Amino acid sequence: MTQRYLSISQVNMNFEKNGVVNPVLKDINLDVNRGEYISLIGHSGCGKSTVLNIIAGLLKATDGVVIVDNKEVNAPGPDRALVFQNHSLLPWLTVYQNVELAVDKIFKHSKTAAERKEWILHNLDMVNMSHALHRLPSEISGGMKQRVGIARALAMQPKVLLLDEPFGALDALTRAHLQDEVMRIQGELQNTVVMITHDVDEAVLLSDRIVMMTNGPSATIGQILNIDLPRPRNRVALTDDPRYNHYRHEVLSFLYEKQRKVEDIGKHRPQKAEAKKAATA
């Protein structure tokens, strides 16, 4: 039986500058069940990161509410861990110490020092970084830094793992390897994940559902696509799977055909209004 962990209800987000209101999000509604992998996809500027930051508690929505495990989100908390596109590791701390910082913060009073050490090593082993415990971030590759960032987030045992384009700054091969690692880990832990991506193939490969955002301003959820592909997933085998290619086409169609039609209608509508006004003048 699925358990709803995350609920986004009637969320609107406006930013104001110099008295001018910019409506970024309008009427965002989404329920995510425990153990689901959800991807948010859309064109740049559609408010994907704003949605993620509202879930994380880094931004307060203008209207609406976010609930995680029956508790309203009003601020950042350890039940939601956020991994950014850039690794955000502290450069003066080693790989081990970067994860230790988070573990000590969360589990200082609930785990002994020995238990915390074992937990840190376990999470670094899970992302295959046990060989680099004492290296500084400057001494490891970009892909390794992201592995450490993911290990640090997982070590917090969050109810919801938030990924903001976590593979976007990586080369293609490293990106593919890390995607496979995230799939493997999520399969083992059955944790709830919400990820932002611009990559259609990545969204189809990793997700249980893909949430497609309309273009801003006043962006909203335009379509939600269920990805009915068996797990574990093999990227090579899936390239010949007609279902995979169907889902891929659905997302591309939404992003590059349906959204273009909406934009074209928006562009022509003022012209039609002006023409009507001139005709009746």
Q: In the chain, what are the domain boundaries?
A: 4-79+160-235, 85-157
Q: With CA atoms as reference, report the closest residue to 215 among 272, 258, 268.
A: 258
pLDDT tens readout for residues 51-93:
999 999 999 999 999 999 999 999 999 999 999 888 789 999 9
Longest alpha-carbon distance in the chain: 82
Mean pLDDT of 32-42: 96
**Which class is 4-79+160-235 in CATH?**
alpha beta
Cβ(223)–Cβ(212) under 8 Å?
yes
pTM beyond 0.75: the answer is yes
Q: Torsion-angle region of residue 19: left (phi > 0), alpha (psi -120 to 50) or beta?
A: left
For residue 151, the 8-state DSSP code is: H
- Can you tell me the distance from the alpha carbon of 204 to that of 225, in angstroms, rounded to the nearest whole number? 9
Provide the mean pLDDT of the chain: 89
pLDDT tens readout for residues 174-187:
999 999 999 999 99
